[in-house]
Amino acid sequence: MGVYNIIKSPIRCPICNNRLRWQSKYLVYNGLVLANTLTEIELDKTMQGEMYARCEQCETWIEAEIHDGKTQITTTITKK
């Protein structure tokens, strides 16, 4: 099990609207790959990469892409 960056994002669970704790899967900031910084990172317009979260309320798995600091959900897997 690894340690990942925590990403501050307003995106909530698309199923139950619960607040999510996003983690980076791959993150580039100003052309540098960020890994294991152990700090919460604010999205910035220079960021590119991927992030994911598991909703603690409904157990939905969510993945999102980051392009120019903007996020878009790409995958949602529900427990049911």
Look at residue 3 and tell me whether its pLDDT is greater than 80.
no
- Given pLDDT bands bounded at 50, 70 and 90, which one contains residue 1? very low
Half-sphere exposure of 49 (CA within 13 A, CB side): 26
Domain ranges for the chain: 6-77
Query: For the whole model, what pTM was predicted?
Result: 0.80
Cα–Cα distance between 51 and 23 in angstroms, integer? 5
CB contact at 8 A, 4 and 41: no
Average pLDDT over residues 39-61: 88
Choice between 25 and 77, residue whose per-residue pLDDT is larger: 77
Query: Residue for token digits 């990469």?
Result: 49
Average pLDDT over residues 41-65: 90
Average pLDDT over residues 63-79: 88
Averaged pLDDT of the chain: 84
Look at residue 48 and tell me whether its pLDDT is greater than 70.
yes
CB contact at 8 A, 64 and 72: yes
